[in-house]
Amino acid sequence: MRLNDAPTLKIINNEPIIEWGGEVYKVPRLKHGALFLMVNQLSTQLRFCEYRVHLDYTKGRVIGDEAVEGLYEHARQLGGIADEFSLESGWDPVVVNRGEEGVSFFNMRMRNWVGKADFTKPYVEERSVLAIVKGIPILGLPDLIINRDGKPWLVVELKTTNRVHRLSYVNPREAYQVEAYYHFLRMLNLNVERAVVVKMIRGLDYRLIDHVDSITKAIEDGVRHRQLSNGVYMHVVDVTSFNEFMSELEYALDYWLGSRNAKPSPSQGKCALCDHKSHCPYSLAR
């Protein structure tokens, strides 16, 4: 069973391959030299603006202070590995799924492969998952899996913010990420039952993994939204059917395979938030 073996990314004779469970998967040539994709990229592509992703690769991307703060808050909450690939604020021309950095990043994440997790524990944190769709490896990094009866039960995505008004809702990108993790886990026969987003203010005297029982109780009570503590909220996400999810995912992958060009989806609100608003030809916020 492939679940027992962590995938490995290699470049042999300038060709990327995935070795997984005794099989070798040749990675197709992808736009921008990508070796694999990540769920958070797909969430931006499908739920924000595909042309923004295109510009991230062709123009570089902005790493803001808030992104750096979020990375380290995740590490504080979940005991993660933020220091191994640290970020600094500013323009960054390198994206972590290309070249030797991409190989190192992928294989480092596989140290926490979900197949190595002990599901007899109450929860496991920051485990990597992988799906190969249309030959393309897609890496997912769910924050938390809560277990019941020795099996995965809930998949949880943690989102941190400095803005209180963002706690009360789940935006489409956040929902897509946890939905993708839900389906990828089930593709590995890890049949989680629900998908949850937890949102919290950064810097609180509160650590999520010390309060897993509060999430469990909310689900058992049939609650879809609950304040877990001051500045901490949980939301149950309705996931789409597997067929609907895959159809949309395959459409997104057609861009990476070069079958179509990036599709812009400008709006005043999205463009105002975009790092590329000053030079994007479709921007409505210049």
What is residue 89's predicted lDDT score, i.e. its pLDDT? 57
Three-state SS sequence of the chain: CHHHCCCEEEEECCEEEEEECCEEEECCCCHHHECCEEHHHHHHHHHCCHHHHHHHHHHCEEECHHHHHHHHHHHHHHCCCHHHHCCCCEEECCCCCEHHHHHHHHHHHHHHEHHHCCCCCCEEECCEEEEEECCEEEEECCCEEEEECCEEEEEEEEEEECCHHHHHCCCHHHHHHHHHHHHHHHHCCCCCCEEEEEEEECCCCCCHHHCHHHHHHHHHCCCCEEEEECCEEEEEECCCCHHHHHHHHHHHHHHHCCCCCCCCCCCHHHHHHCCCCCCCCCCCCC
> What's the predicted TM-score (pTM) here?
0.93
What is residue 78's predicted lDDT score, i.e. its pLDDT? 84
What is residue 84's predicted lDDT score, i.e. its pLDDT? 46
What is residue 60's predicted lDDT score, i.e. its pLDDT? 84
What is residue 72's predicted lDDT score, i.e. its pLDDT? 82
Burial 33-56 (b: 16+ CB within 10 A, else e): ebbbbbbbbbbbbbbbbbbbbbbb
What is residue 91's predicted lDDT score, i.e. its pLDDT? 55
What is residue 86's predicted lDDT score, i.e. its pLDDT? 53
What is residue 62's predicted lDDT score, i.e. its pLDDT? 73
Instruction: Provide the residue-wise pLDDT of the chain in tens; the chain has 286 residues.
Output: 579 899 999 999 999 999 999 999 999 999 999 999 999 999 999 999 999 999 999 988 777 777 778 888 888 888 765 444 455 555 565 567 999 999 999 999 999 999 999 999 999 999 999 999 999 999 999 999 999 999 999 999 999 999 999 999 999 999 999 999 999 999 999 999 999 999 999 999 999 999 999 999 999 999 999 999 999 999 999 999 999 999 999 999 999 999 999 999 999 999 999 989 999 999 999 7
